Amino acid sequence: MKNLVTILLFLEFAFAQAANTDIQKQFEASKYMYSTFAKLEKQLLSLPTKESFSTKKLDNLSYGLHFKVDVGDVFFPTKDFWCSDTLAAWCKDYIERMKNAFFIPYTLSVEFKKNIGKCPIGTIYEKVFLVNADKATSIDTPQRLKNDRIFRDESFSSLNEIETYECWAIIEMGHQNQPIIQKTPRKETLYLNGPQNDVPGSFNPLTESWMASWPVGGRFNLMYEPLITYNTLNGQIEPLLGTLVEELSNNDSIVVDLNPAAKWSDGKPVTSVDVTFIFLRGSINSTEQISAIHIDSLKGADGIITERLSFMVAKNRRNNPLTVRDMLQSTRIAPSHVFEPLIAKKGIDEIKKIKMDVNPIVSGPYNLMSYDSSRITLKRRDDYWGNKALHHGKRPAPKYIVHPILKSAGDVFSTIRDNAVDVTMGFIDHFSRMQSFGIRSWFDSLPYHYPTTIPILIINVTKPPLDNTVFRRAMATAIEYERINQFALKTQTSDLEPGLIIPHGLEKKYAQKSHMGLYGIKTSFDDYKKRKDKVQEMLLSIGIQSIWNYDGTLSHMEWRGERIPTIKITSVKGWTEWETIVSLAVNSMRWAGIDVQENFVDGGQYWPDMGLGNFDLIMHKPAADASSSLPWRRFNEVMSSQDWQPLGAWASVNIGRYNNPASTNYRPEVDSLLKIIPLLKNEQDRIDAYGKLNMIFMVDQPAIPLVYLPEQFYYFNDKIWKNWPTQKNPYAPPQIPGLGSGTNILWHIYSK
């Protein structure tokens, strides 16, 4: 089946002097190119596996693009699929389905046949797809994407990469979005692009998180709601089904008053029975955080009875009021009167399999209207209890919310460009160029986004030379962080600084600049040579020598004359932003003399490798969701020894096995700080404690932060819906409507 299909096709690129034309002309020209490519791709996907295409050629071209599509061997990814609960029926079903599937990989390469902007003749862009041979449809994410870098051949080094993101943007602007058929009135419908990128599965709030479809999965509050929400913009806890009683909450208990107006869509009240069901008898394991839930009834002057719930902090377990608060804003409450009778009859495992997609009983402002493989549609509940209780009698502006299921990253931009989508959390690669289409973000100018998370290279400190602090700091010094921000994020986020605290927004007060300069690695250099010289100085200080080829490229590393095995950085194959970040980090380290290479693996291998410690370095994003426990939760995931596990045993935190309590190098102050910070009441004490913890992180370097990211990307088009939150209009955080505190956006936007 090797080389099943080879297509050589020259397409007319009908614009002249692309670098000098305006945005709209470039858009129209590239739009033609993409429509032609779409036809080519459609033909490819409809091919029987044993047929092939003949070579075609178009003459008299003014500009040309060279498309070459190679189909390789069919492969059966039986060994690549894994799930956490191998004894559960859902897990067995999942593995069996994937075993029966097989895929054909093919590569698309685009060669520029004439100078276009900054792209000279001969430059090549490559992208690899997987084609499902049963369904003849493209897998949603590419398996390998050499993004924003041009490769003349395999030996093309990072020093000679051509910065082509502006040039390639000319082509990307013409991406044709998939048709989104409007089934509801446009001015009454909000179209958003959220996390749903595959066929909807279940709308059951008790099901496994990975099986739950939008808006039931994640932290969306449209159908099922939590007790409270966290505003990532100002750090405030906001009421929803309940209200946090701050003056009564302490290190022993977190107190919440249930809103007596809260009701389910069948008219029954939301009560403490529903809350205790989900925390104590439902699918949430809260025993490590909550020891008990005490319930009191308060009668107001108006005679209305309010239930007061005291969530008792599990003193003999985690003893952490911060994580209890996190649970209260991340856990959606489900109706006990619906689920408990079903569980009593069939057991919770069987009930988790029910899709709950027909008239579900919900408490939120919207309910499921319909869904299929192309979209999920919600309809507003005009009798939603929160309209009167929380929003002064006002209803959400959109009558319908539609989540189209987009097939590619290009669709993220093209749908919002063409007003087919109003707001998206998907990354738009060349946003600065796309603003001419009326697309906006939180900030009007760079960096555009509000940083809250940090992708990190976790280091397995049990393996030499990764067990050496100087070597770990040398790796961190070698990375060109500015290039990661420029190429992977298009400078849409703030520049990285040393440490595990984000020196912006709510974490800024904990970031001590003097500590960064004194203890942190140097993240920015005047030129490449200074960075390389510093790395070489650090390596030589511990007896490690970089061995170079005759052409100046790195061969390997040696210690005392013995070759050190190549260090591998593991990441998920197909997560294109991560692949780009890892490749840039690898290029930087190799150029500075550190022998590393990428190790892109399927998700079925990535997750168990991460938990079991089967890696040298691994790409990870700890504390991915913004919450009131940051930055503590990020430090805990990277550095805590409370649940330290040896290699081969499952570790849910500290996957790099840093600070082994049984070793002579154990630093007990790390665990002491992690235990005491959640209990500190004085703000200055917290600042001092975080300063000490961050100092230890910078000195020991158990992981390498790479770039700052927003919790979600946030782009909107206001041609249909007006009054989106921005830095200048910060009535809500930069989140798509329905996510966390961003749900309030629905009561503020209005259609034109």
Condensed to tens digits (0 to 9), the pLDDT of residues 209-256 reads 888 999 998 899 999 999 999 999 999 999 999 999 999 999 999 999
Q: What separation in angstroms does the CA of 672 have from each of 401, 581, 641?
A: 47, 34, 10
Q: Would residue 158 count as lying in a domain?
A: no
Q: What is the pLDDT of residues 308-355, one digit of tens each?
A: 999 999 999 999 999 999 999 999 999 999 999 999 999 999 999 999
| 101 pLDDT higher than 90 | no
Is residue 278 located within the same domain as residue 343? yes
Specify if 160 maps to a domain. Answer: no
Q: Which of 4-13, 146-155, 458-467, 617-626 has the highest mean pLDDT?
A: 458-467
Q: Is the same domain home to 350 and 247? A: yes
More confident residue, 161 or 438: 438
Q: What is the pLDDT of residue 603?
A: 81
**Residue 385, domain CATH:** 3.40.190.10
Mean pLDDT score of the chain: 82
Model confidence at 577: pLDDT above 70: yes
| Per-residue model confidence (pLDDT) at position 10 | 32
What CA–CA distance (Å, rounded) separates 371 from 497? 44
At residue 483, the pLDDT reads 87
Alpha-carbon distance values, 499 to 208, 477, 496, 694, 711 (Å): 34, 13, 9, 6, 19
pLDDT band at 94 (very low <50, low <70, confident <90, very high): low
Q: Is 290 a residue whose pLDDT tops 70?
A: yes
Q: How far apart are CA 619 and CA 199, in angstroms?
A: 27
- Taking alpha carbons only, the member of 294, 310, 293, 307 closest to residue 255 is 310
Q: Where are the beta strands (DSSP E) in 161-223?
A: 189-193
Among 322, 288, 319, CA closest to 686: 322
Structure-token match 């051949």, residue found: 153
Q: Torsion angle of alpha carbons 610, 614, 618, 620, nearest 10°? A: 10
690: enclosing H helix or E strand? helix 683-700
**CA separation for the pair 331, 161 (Å, rounded):** 46
Contact 481, 585 (CB under 8 A): no
26 located within any domain: no
**In a shared domain, residues 408 and 358:** no
Residue 564 covered by a domain: yes
Q: Is 255 helix (H, G, I), strand (E, B) or coil?
A: strand
| Other Cβ atoms within 10 Å of 244 Cβ, number | 20
User: 403 and 305, same structural domain?
Assistant: no
pLDDT digits (tens, 9 = 90+) for 14-46: 333 333 345 555 555 555 555 555 554 554 444
Sign of CA dihedral 549, 552, 555, 556: positive
| Mean pLDDT for the stretch of residues 161-166 | 42
**Structure pTM?**
0.82
| Least confident range of 7-21, 465-479, 599-613 | 7-21
* Gap between the Cα atoms of 170 and 145, Å rounded: 18
Domain that holds residue 344: 204-210+219-363
Pairing assessment for the beta strands 237-239 and 6-12 based on DSSP bridges? unpaired
Residue identified by tokens 């390596």 is 539
For residues 389 and 266, membership in a common domain is answered with no
Q: Above 60 in pLDDT, residue 195?
A: yes
Residue 487 and residue 158: Cα distance in Å, rounded?
12
Side-chain half-sphere exposure of 731, counting CA atoms within 13 A:
12
- Alpha-helical (H) ranges within 16-72 are 23-45
3-state secondary structure string, 624-684? CCCCCCCCHHHHHHHHCCCCCCCCCCCCCCCCCCCCCCCCCCCCHHHHHHHHHHHHCCCHH
Do 470 and 418 lie in one domain? The reply is no
Please give the C-alpha separations between residue 89 and each of 349, 353, 603, in angstroms, as whole numbers.
8, 9, 20
Residue 139 placed within a domain: no
Higher pLDDT, 107 or 183: 183
Q: Are residues 597 and 464 in the same domain?
A: yes
Residue 746's pLDDT is what?
A: 99
CA atoms of 148 and 138, how far apart (whole Å): 22
345 domain residue, yes or no: yes
Own/partner pairs, 127-132, CB within 8 angstroms, 24+ separation: 129/105, 130/103, 130/104, 130/105, 131/44, 131/45, 131/71, 131/103, 131/104, 131/105, 131/106, 132/101, 132/103
Looking at residue 134, its pLDDT comes to 39
Of 313, 332, 363, the position where a domain reaches its end is 363
CATH, residue 350 = 3.90.76.10
**CA–CA dist 426, 419 (Å, integer):** 15
The three-state secondary structure class of 471 is helix
Name the domain boundary from 97, 118, 139.
118
pLDDT of residue 179: 73
Q: Do 553 and 682 share a domain, yes or no?
A: yes
For residues 721-742, give the mean pLDDT: 96
Rounded average pLDDT over 243-272 = 98
Q: Is residue 441 a part of any domain in this protein?
A: yes
What phi and psi values does residue 97 have, to the nearest 5 degrees? -60, -45
589 shares a domain with 507? yes
Structure tokens at 679: 């209990």
Burial class (CB in 10 A: 0-12, 13-18, 19+), 668: exposed
Helix axes 683-700, 632-639, angle to 10 degrees: 30
**Mean of the pLDDT values across residues 598-619?**
93
Burial of 643 (0-12, 13-18, 19+ CB in 10 A): exposed
Look at residue 169 in the predicted model and tell me its pLDDT: 55
Residue 319 lies in a domain: yes
SS3 category, 68: strand
pLDDT value of residue 142: 28
Strand partners, 253: 312
Token pair belonging to 650 = 């499952």
Enclosing H/E stretch for 244? strand 242-244
Among the listed residues 622, 627, 631, 656, the one whose alpha carbon sits nearest the alpha carbon of residue 641: 656
pLDDT at 96 over 70: no
Instruction: State the pLDDT confidence band at 85, using cuts at 50, 70 and 90.
Output: low
Report the CATH number that the domain containing residue 542 is assigned in CATH. 3.10.105.10
> Is the same domain home to 435 and 376?
yes
Burial of 323 (0-12, 13-18, 19+ CB in 10 A): buried
Query: Which domain-ending residue is among 118, 136, 152?
Result: 118
Q: pLDDT band for 487, please (50, 70, 90 cuts).
A: confident
Task: Specify whether the backbone of 117 is left (phi greater than 0), alpha (psi in -120 to 50) or beta.
Answer: left
Neighbours of 640 (CB within 10 A): 18
pLDDT surpassing 60 at residue 513:
yes
| Domain shared by 618 and 734, yes or no | no
Domain count, the chain: 4
> Among 180, 577, 197, 576, which residue's Cα sits nearest to residue 417?
180
DSSP state of 277: I
Task: Give every CB contact of residue 571 below 8 A, 6+ residues apart in sequence.
Answer: 578, 579, 582, 598, 599, 600, 601, 606, 618, 619
Which residues have a Cβ under 8 Å from the Cβ of 300 and sit 6 or more positions away?
A: 306
Tokens, residue 533: 């010289």
Confidence (pLDDT) at 65:
37
B/e letters for 382-410, b = 16+ CB within 10 Å, e = fewer, are eebbbbeebbeeebbbbbbbbbbbbbbbb
What is the rounded CA–CA span in Å between residue 427 and residue 292? 42
Q: Are residues 339 and 418 in the same domain?
A: no
